[in-house]
Amino acid sequence: VFYLSSPMRFGDLPIEVIRSIASFIGWLCLTPVCRRFWQALRLKCIRRVKEPPSIALFEKALCHGVISITFQLKGCDTEPRLTTTQLAPLTILSQSTTLNFLTLHFPNHNLGNGGCTQIASLAQCRSLTSLSIDLTFNSINDLGAHELQALRTLPHLMQLNIDLKENEIGNGGVKGLVQLYNLPSLTNCSLGLAYNIFDCEGVKFLCEVPQPPKLRSLTLDLTGNAIDDDGIQHLCALRLVPTLTALHLNLSNVDLSEEAMQMLGGFADCSLQHLNLNLGQSNIDDEGLKYISTLRNATHLQSLSLNVMENCVGTEGLRYLRALAQIDSLKTLTLCLSSVTHMADVVSDDDIFPGNLIVSDLATPLNLATNLQCLHLCLKDTGIDDKGAYILADSISKATHLRRLNLCLIGNLLTVKGCTFLRDSFIKATWLQSLCAYLKDNEFRPSDANKLDVQQQSPTSTSICTQADESDVQEQTQDQQKQDCWLLDGLQLPHKQIDFVTNYCECCGVESDSELSDTDADDDDESLEPDSTSSDADSQNGDDHSLGED
């Protein structure tokens, strides 16, 4: 009812609104009520993916008491870019008393420091509780970063996300940004500062949490910055913040020494419940992973995510990684070994692929971690073939303690035989409540599925995402459906549910994410257009797509 009767998507509403109206879904007699109720609710949300902010739009927002506004305008060379003047209407929002959620994503628009000045005018919008700003690649330096610290006066802001990667922010700019820690109600803060020009002094500023601390979750993206052991030491001091329960550190493309790895292992002695360490492309080896494995002594960790993609890992290193699954309190474990190189001493058999060695050293012993309930294992581009798939399948069929499994095997060497091993193990794993397998860009083709008995079934409990290359689009679609049906055949697990379905996993989906975002953006923009099947009242609501005059 909601999806067909409104030009705005149901998922665009904040989760609180969705929960409040969810009980109406499925009652046919309430369809007219739901339709009018939805028309009223959609006046409270604005979503734009192409149009810049405008005075008329924000004046309507004030009139109707809008609670959520989203602008996602990705800049590119083929489309006109935003100017600082076009952000001037943001000052109107400072008068709003109902706006709670604001998202301003303007990457690659070359807005400069003037754009930061315009966004800083939102400091007078006292009703804001969640603010997300993306100013990636906008030629912003320390002056612009100091302008953003004006937002520290927002009295009710609880969640703040600022992405400033690929700019020119130095130590002085970082010192200005950390003033945002002083927001009186802030509990969740994320600062994206990848590929800027600050050094360890800037890292020291980032770790100076004001007293008494209020932050419960902190995310710092420091990819590609000049950070040495002193900077890592400052980051490790965050474990002493008593209120912090979740910490996410992105240190990819940062050269980490053994001393730095030893300091990161010190997070075992803290009260953190959720720890995410991205150490991809950091030149770490087995000795470094030995120090990280001391996290197995942690007593409070409930979820751990470790990304070591594009490093060289040997048998000893994998042994240290699998030891992390033995943390007594751990319920969720994410290991990303995308494009990892196995340092095998001797490989004499041509049939042995390095990816199979990784699976053999890592996957099977995970069955011993009976405390684990959720496992995300990313093995993209590691050279796994059908033998590796058999080892994985055998391990999965024995892991009766798992309830959620995400398995990424994108870009490997699996054929239809290897997929058969996996499918059979998935059928046996009736204890799983959620299962996602990512198998695109392997060696099997849709035509291989035609050799088997294909039954047209569409289970809703399991997702296996595949992709193949065919010249004929129509034939590819038909073959793809047959392939998916074959892979999913027999996987109906009653009363089970999937949390997400995509064509890429969270760890390795950077490129796919950008491709999908463009598509989603077009779809969202079309969803805001007035529907020809809507009522006459809907068509007379005016030029604005999501704000009406009802």
For the segment 60-90, what is each residue's pLDDT rounded down to a tens digit?
888 888 889 999 998 776 567 889 999 999 9
Give the model's confidence band at 416: pLDDT under 50 very low, under 70 low, under 90 confident, else very high: confident
Give the domain-ending residue among 198, 224, 240: 198
Domain presence at residue 115: yes
Give the domain-ending residue among 143, 167, 198: 198
Three-class secondary structure of residue 42 per DSSP: helix
User: Is pLDDT of 539 > 60?
Assistant: no
Q: How large a percentage of the chain has pLDDT more than 70?
A: 70
Domain presence at residue 276: no
Q: Which domain holds residue 463?
A: 310-507
Q: DSSP states of 118-168 as a string?
A: HHHGGGG-TT--EEEEE-TTS---HHHHHHHGGGGG-SS--EEEEE--SS-
356 lies in the same domain as 495: yes
pTM assigned to the model: 0.80
432 lies in the same domain as 537: no
Q: How large a percentage of the chain has pLDDT more than 90?
A: 50
477 lies in the same domain as 341: yes
Give the domain-ending residue among 198, 221, 236: 198
31 lies in the same domain as 136: no
What CATH number does residue 432 fall under? Answer: 3.80.10.10
Domain presence at residue 82: yes
72 lies in the same domain as 176: yes
Domain presence at residue 6: yes
For the segment 478-529, what is each residue's pLDDT rounded down to a tens digit?
444 444 444 444 344 333 333 333 455 667 654 433 333 343 434 343 333 3
Mean pLDDT of the region 79-102? 90
34 lies in the same domain as 77: no
The total number of structural domains that make up the chain: 3
Contact in structure between 407 and 534 (CB atoms under 8 Å): no
Contact in structure between 379 and 409 (CB atoms under 8 Å): yes
Query: CA neighbours within 13 Å on the CB side: how many for 421?
Result: 16
Domain presence at residue 432: yes
d(CA 237, CA 248): 14
Reference 112, options 130, 85, 90; nearest CA is 85
User: Is pLDDT of 14 > 90?
Assistant: no
Between the alpha carbon of residue 533 and those of residues 1, 182, 505, 529, 546, the distances in Å are 13, 50, 37, 12, 16
pLDDT averaged over every residue in the chain? 78
- Residue 249's DSSP bridge partners are 220, 277
Domain presence at residue 205: no
35 lies in the same domain as 133: no
30 lies in the same domain as 117: no
Domain presence at residue 457: yes
Tokens 């068509």 identify what position? 539
pLDDT for residue 512:
36
